Amino acid sequence: MSRAEDHSTTLDRMTADHNVNSDSSTPPALIVSHFVQEPAPGTPQAPPPEPSEIRRFLSQRGSGAFADNSFAGVILLCACSIFAIVIFIAAILIKSSHLSIAQFGLKFFSTSDWDPVSGQFGALPFIFGTLATSFLALLIAVPLALGVAVFISELCPRPLRAPISFLTELLAAIPSVVYGLWAVFVLVPLMRDQLGPFLVKYFGWTHLFEGANFGVGLLTAGIILAIMILPIISSITRDIMLSVPNHQREAVLALGATRWEMIRTGVLRNARIGIVGAVILGLGRALGETMAVTMVIGNHAEIAHSLFAPGNTLASVIANEFSEATGDLYLSSLIEIGLALFLVTIIVNAIARLLVWAVTRGAPARVS
């Protein structure tokens, strides 16, 4: 059966349904015209259709031209405010850090000396710490968050769904200083006495777990960040997966897929762009997180290959040193650290978007 034939039979069926009382031998086109014009004499009088709320509102209001134009103007202003805010922030950061920009130039981003006493400032250890903790956090949180989201949206028994969703969203609402306190009192001793020795014993060959383990350091900061971004990623991913139309799932199942194949090809494939968006949002929070990280990272500006070593992040050093910074160059360098954080966030976001674009452009859902 061709597509056109299929369409016409559907139309036939529809008109037939709508006109149970009318003569079934009348051609479809005529019946449609009956509805638009006066009903033919002899056919039973249908009551005039009651105009809907919307139709009544639209017919009663005057010309919408003025309202439309001013609305468009206001919306444009809202959109432009985003540009204005970003440009304003960047301009102020650059203006207030001109002293250190003039003094250190691009070397600021590539040297690792941060010494307020001798007036040497380099942001590299902080950039390293920020990126290392954030990617550690993603490494831990993304698989976990996807698991939570798949479970809630596809496999969860109905009575469990609401409590689990509620708890994940509750995690997102906990202030970061509370996470920090919890980390100091629970995660740090756990890391020092149980998790650390375990990692050394079984993963020592990776050389990632060397040196003294005091419980504070890059790994602890990565874990607390992972816990903090888990609810963001999992709840957005869950919403996106729930918005995949059910007929996609039914179609894949009907073709003989198992449940896992259905989730992979029917749900995850369709939701992948949204999932990447969720991960980027999580990454954004991880990059800028200050308080909880400061409390467990050890605040020591060095670039170490061991995950047990203390580190420092861009956000932490600003929070730690800004209030007591004396000297114009010191202050200006701290503001340039803020600029560095701004740039790191933009660059990481741009790379993530580029990746999404490269992976998904024009690609339809497929099995691979």
Partner 1 sequence: MRVKLLAAGLLAIAAATASAQNINGAGATFPYPIYSRWFSEYAKLHPDVKINYQSIGSGGGIRQVSEGTVDFGATDGPMSDDAIKSAKVKTIHIPTVLGAVVPVYNLKGVSQQLNFSGDVIADIYLGKISKWNDPRIAKDNPGVNLPAAAILPVYRSDGSGTSFIFTDYLSKVSADFKAKVGAATSVKWPTGIGQKGNEGVAGMVRQAPNSFGYVELIYARGNNMPFGKVKNASGKFIEASTDGVTAAAAGATIPADYRVSITNAPGANAYPISSFTWLLIPVQATDASKSKAIKGFLEWMLSTGEAEAAQMTYAPLPKAVADRVKQTVAGIK
The residue ranges that bind partner 1 (CB under 8 A) are 113-118, 184-185, 188-189, 192, 212, 214-216, 294-295, 298-301, 310, 312, 316, 319-327
User: Can you read off the two tokens belonging to residue 115?
Assistant: 């010494």
Closer to partner 1 at the Cβ: 285 or 300? 300
For residues 233 and 315, which CB has a smaller minimum distance to partner 1 in the complex? 315
CB burial readout 85-107, b (16+ within 10 A) else e: eeeeeeeebeebbebbbebbeee
Least distance in angstroms from the C-beta of 114 to partner 1: 6
Residue type present at position 117:
V
What minimum distance in Å lies between the beta carbon of 136 and partner 1? 18
CB 118 to partner 1: min, Å: 7
108 contacts: CB under 8 Å, gap ≥ 6: 100, 101, 121, 122, 123, 333, 336, 340
Give the separation between CA 271 and CA 212, rounded to whole angstroms: 43
Least gap, CB of 196 to partner 1 (angstroms)? 12
Among the listed residues 298, 299, 291, the one whose alpha carbon sits nearest the alpha carbon of residue 228:
291
**CB-wise, 184 or 276, nearer to partner 1?**
184
To the nearest whole angstrom, how small is the minimum distance from the Cβ of residue 216 to partner 1?
6
For partner 1, the closer of residues 224 and 262 by Cβ is 224
* ∠ CA 352-238-291, rounded to 5°: 60
Instruction: Please state the closest distance from residue 189 (CB atom) to partner 1, in A.
Output: 7
How far apart are CB 89 and partner 1 at their closest, in Å?
Answer: 22
